[in-house]
Every structure is written in structure tokens, then in C-alpha cells.
């Protein structure tokens, strides 16, 4: 009898844990937009962080990731910091890898400021991949083969 009670208790506990945490990214994005409109950037950041925590794999919506990236950029600009660009770049990069066409479609739904921010993110994402193309060659000793750098 004790075995049945323990088993039932464990099943109920697991059921409660699994049902208690359902985050809807679209609702969080809407809450973040509203918080930004009211100037409450901390609430907006917590809503975006919660949304991006569940959108961390290839099953996430590219549109939701793009909107999240744009809102991170808006908050970053309003707070005049550079703390959230990396989060925005991560969301935008994942969105582009999931579905580039959805990202392009999302541009039409955003404000002009958000479009500019996403254009900047796109350039940053592209620049990350281009850097090795311009790197100086290194010889077998690990020294860059360009004497002009020393001068």
C-alpha cells in the first residue's frame, strides 16, 4: 500500500511541475511592448528574457525571435547601454537560421526604428562570419606574417 501512495505522490508532483510553467512567447512579446510604451524597461526585459528562454532551439518561431531581437535593441537604445545587443544578436541569428523568409516578412510588421535596429543586427551577424576572411595568415610559430603591424 505504501508503494502505491509513494508512486501516486511522485506522479502528482511531476504533473504539477510540468503543468505549472507554460510560457507563451507571443504574450510575453506583447507584455514587453506595453512595458516599453510605459517606460518600464525592467518589466520588458524580464518578459523578453522569459520568452527567449523557451525559444532557444530550432522549433521556435522565427517571427517571435525577430520581434524579441528588435525589442532587445529598442531597450538597449533607450537605456543607452550595450548590455542587450548580444541577446538580440543571438535571437536574430537563431531566427535567420530557422527561416530567413519569415525574418524578411517580419520587417514589414515593425516600426521604422525597429527596422533600423534589425538592419544593424543583420550587418553585425554578417560581419561575425566575415572576420576570418580578412584575418592575417599565421606562420608555424604563431606569429602574424605582417611586418607592418610592428611598425
Q: What is the DSSP string of 7-34?
A: HHHHHHHHHHHHHH----HHHHHHHHHH
The whole-angstrom separation of Cα 146 and Cα 39 is 50
| 40, burial (CB in 10 Å: exposed 0-12, middle 13-18, buried 19+) | middle
- Residues facing 144 on adjacent strands: 138
| 52, burial (CB in 10 Å: exposed 0-12, middle 13-18, buried 19+) | buried
pLDDT classification of 20: cutoffs 50, 70, 90: very low
Please state the domain extents for the chain. Answer: 24-129
Identify which of 127, 124, 103 has the alpha carbon closest to the alpha carbon of residue 115: 103
> Running DSSP on this structure, what letter comes out for residue 135?
P
pLDDT tens digits for 83-105? 888 899 999 999 999 998 998 88
pLDDT classification of 60: cutoffs 50, 70, 90: confident
Q: How far is CA 53 from CA 1, 33, 105, 136, in A?
A: 41, 18, 23, 37
Give me the pLDDT at residue 33, please: 92
Give me the pLDDT at residue 29, please: 92
Amino acid at each position: 500500500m505504501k508503494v502505491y501512495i509513494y508512486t501516486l505522490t511522485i506522479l502528482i508532483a511531476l504533473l504539477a511541475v510540468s503543468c505549472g510553467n507554460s510560457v507563451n512567447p507571443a504574450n510575453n512579446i506583447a507584455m514587453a511592448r506595453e512595458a516599453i510604451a510605459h517606460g518600464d524597461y525592467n518589466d520588458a526585459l524580464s518578459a523578453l528574457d522569459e520568452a527567449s528562454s523557451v525559444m532557444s532551439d530550432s522549433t521556435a518561431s522565427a517571427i517571435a525571435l525577430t520581434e524579441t531581437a528588435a525589442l532587445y535593441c529598442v531597450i538597449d537604445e533607450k537605456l543607452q547601454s550595450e548590455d542587450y545587443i548580444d541577446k538580440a544578436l543571438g535571437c536574430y541569428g537563431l531566427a535567420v537560421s530557422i527561416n530567413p523568409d519569415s525574418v524578411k516578412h517580419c520587417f514589414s510588421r515593425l516600426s521604422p526604428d525597429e527596422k533600423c535596429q534589425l538592419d544593424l543586427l543583420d550587418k553585425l551577424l554578417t560581419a561575425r562570419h566575415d572576420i576570418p576572411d580578412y584575418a592575417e595568415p599565421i606562420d608555424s610559430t604563431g606569429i602574424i606574417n605582417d611586418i607592418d603591424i610592428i611598425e
